[in-house]
């Protein structure tokens, strides 16, 4: 059995961390207490803060450098991010604290592979947790009261967290024999028929792993590629690029398409839902977009049609990303439309805008025998478009 790592600032949270450590130990799991505090103390720990600090890539002596508290905490988080992946005995990680400790410990957690249990008891667990969780499987547990002393409330919350961690470390995931390889695909509601058809085509050869292109979905897609867990992809939906460019709420950040280039994977992609930027309720759409073609998807989601000028810029950006790919690339352009509402008679049907996207992408990509842009005279949700994606995928993967 591997070990549970309990991580926190032992200069200020020692009683709470020790309480959790003892409960995990009583449950039959070996525990390592890691100190990421920035002040000196005499509390007994298994891995002292200096051991973590020496993993900092540029300032291994930062604890004695006289940094202000904020700079020292940031440096410790950078060190923890490098330290944790060097350990080969981690069965799970439990952290606890307020905003500072949450940011510090979760940065280290995000450096660990998906599947290793990660539980953060935090005062900010009920707010916007996206900056802490990122594209990984961190579980956030609300501390209810501040993590500042042991009392009936904190004992109950921290006790539950400790027992949960012990259970996750002790009970490993059953191995499934003859697992098919994963095939990662990106989907949005308006490209669902395409991905559903692909799932049917490959149901006997692959386990489908579908990522909802909501920002975090694209980040998770990239992270699993970087981790080596995902070696086969059909990237149908790039709508997150629209949100990156126009300030929508579902951007996956500027590294979208970065992992494929880094890992040199065979890549089949398309332009799913690049006709839309995502905002919240109608009253949240920025004033500068007043008068644009807006479509109320539901009470909490408003879509904005992209313009020819915006599509020109995105086409060039995607093209340059594809130029960075050294593995085989087949990028399919659905000339009949890129989403369910970008078709004749639908509210986002705009051939001029689509043409700007298609032409600028194609003109930007440096095509070779390995890297090809292919126009298909079909709508993205036409069943035969999924067949075309599958054909090119099989061609470059030899499957």
- pLDDT in the model for residue 173: 85
- How far apart (Å, rounded) are the C-alpha atoms in residues 273 and 126? 31
Indicate yes or no: pTM above 0.85.
Answer: no
Strands 276-279 and 371-376: unpaired
Predicted pLDDT of residue 176: 75
User: What pLDDT score does 243 carry?
Assistant: 97
Residue indicated by tokens 């990028």: 331
CATH for 3-170 is 3.40.50.12020
C-alpha closest to that of 310 among 359, 245, 238, 214: 245
Do you know the residue count of the chain?
A: 399
- Mind listing the pLDDT tens digit for each residue in 213-257? 999 999 999 999 998 889 999 999 999 999 999 999 999 999 999
Neighbours of 215 (CB within 10 A): 22
pLDDT per position in the chain (399 positions), as tens? 899 999 999 998 999 999 999 999 999 999 999 999 999 899 999 999 999 999 999 999 999 888 888 899 999 999 999 999 999 999 999 999 888 899 999 999 999 988 999 999 999 998 788 889 988 999 999 998 888 888 899 999 999 999 999 999 999 888 877 688 999 999 999 999 999 999 999 999 999 999 999 999 999 999 999 988 899 999 999 999 999 999 999 999 999 999 999 999 999 999 999 999 999 999 999 999 999 999 998 888 999 999 999 999 999 999 999 999 999 999 999 999 999 999 999 999 999 999 999 999 999 999 999 999 999 999 999 999 999 999 999 999 985
Contact of 119 with 141, CB cutoff 8 Å: yes
For residue 214, which of 247, 177, 182, 251 has the smallest C-alpha distance?
A: 251
Tell me which CATH code domain 182-397 carries.
Answer: 3.40.50.12030
The pLDDT value recorded for residue 399 is 55
CB count in 10 Å sphere of residue 358: 21
> pLDDT tens digits, residue range 250-266?
999 999 999 999 999 99
pLDDT of 27 reads 96
Handedness of CA 320, 321, 326, 327 (dihedral sign): negative
- Can you give the residue ranges of every domain in the chain? 3-170, 182-397
Q: Residue 6 phi/psi, 5° resolution?
A: -105, 120
- φ/ψ (deg, to 5) at 115: 110, -30
Domains 3-170 and 182-397 share a fold: yes
Q: Give, in order, the Cα–Cα distances in Å from 172 to each of 56, 168, 216, 226.
A: 32, 7, 26, 24
Side-chain-side CA neighbours of 193 within 13 Å: the count stands at 12
Residue 328 has what pLDDT? 97
């Amino acid at each position: 059995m591997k070990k549970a790592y309990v991580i926190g600032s032992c200069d200020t949270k020692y009683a709470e961390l020790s309480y959790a450590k003892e409960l995990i130990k009583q449950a039959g799991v070996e525990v390592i207490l890691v100190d990421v505090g920035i002040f000196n103390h005499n509390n007994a720990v298994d891995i002292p803060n200096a051991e973590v600090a020496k993993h900092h890539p540029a300032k291994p002596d930062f604890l004695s450098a006289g940094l202000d508290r904020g700079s020292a905490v940031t440096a410790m988080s950078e060190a923890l991010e490098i330290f944790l992946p060097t350990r080969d005995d981690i069965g799970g990680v439990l952290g606890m604290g307020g905003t500072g400790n949450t940011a510090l410990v979760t940065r280290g957690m995000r450096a660990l592979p998906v599947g290793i249990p990660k539980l953060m008891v935090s005062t900010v667990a009920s707010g916007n947790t996206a900056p802490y969780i990122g594209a990984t499987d961190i579980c956030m547990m609300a501390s209810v009261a501040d993590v500042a002393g042991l009392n009936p409330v904190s004992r109950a919350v921290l006790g539950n967290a400790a027992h949960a961690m012990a259970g996750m470390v002790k009970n490993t995931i059953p191995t499934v024999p003859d697992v098919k390889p994963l095939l990662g695909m990106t989907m949005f509601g308006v490209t669902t028929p395409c991905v559903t058809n692909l799932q049917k085509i490959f149901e006997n050869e692959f386990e489908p792993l579908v990522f909802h292109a909501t920002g975090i979905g694209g980040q998770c897609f990239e992270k699993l590629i970087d981790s080596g867990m995902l070696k086969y992809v059909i990237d149908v939906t790039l709508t997150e690029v629209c949100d990156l460019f126009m300030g929508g709420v579902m951007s996956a950040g500027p590294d979208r398409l970065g992992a494929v280039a880094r890992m040199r994977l065979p890549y089949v992609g398309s332009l799913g839902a690049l006709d839309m930027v995502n905002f919240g309720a109608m009253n949240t759409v920025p004033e500068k977009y007043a008068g644009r073609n807006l479509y109320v998807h539901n009470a909490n989601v408003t879509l904005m049609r992209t313009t020819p000028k915006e599509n020109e810029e995105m086409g060039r950006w995607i093209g340059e990303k594809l130029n960075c790919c050294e593995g085989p690339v087949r990028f399919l352009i659905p000339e009949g439309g890129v989403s369910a509402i970008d078709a004749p008679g639908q509210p986002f049907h705009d051939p001029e805008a689509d043409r700007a996207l298609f032409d600028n992408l194609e003109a930007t990509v440096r095509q070779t025998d390995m890297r090809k842009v292919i126009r298909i005279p079909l709508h993205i949700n036409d069943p035969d478009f999924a067949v075309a994606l599958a054909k090119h995928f099989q061609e470059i993967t030899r499957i």
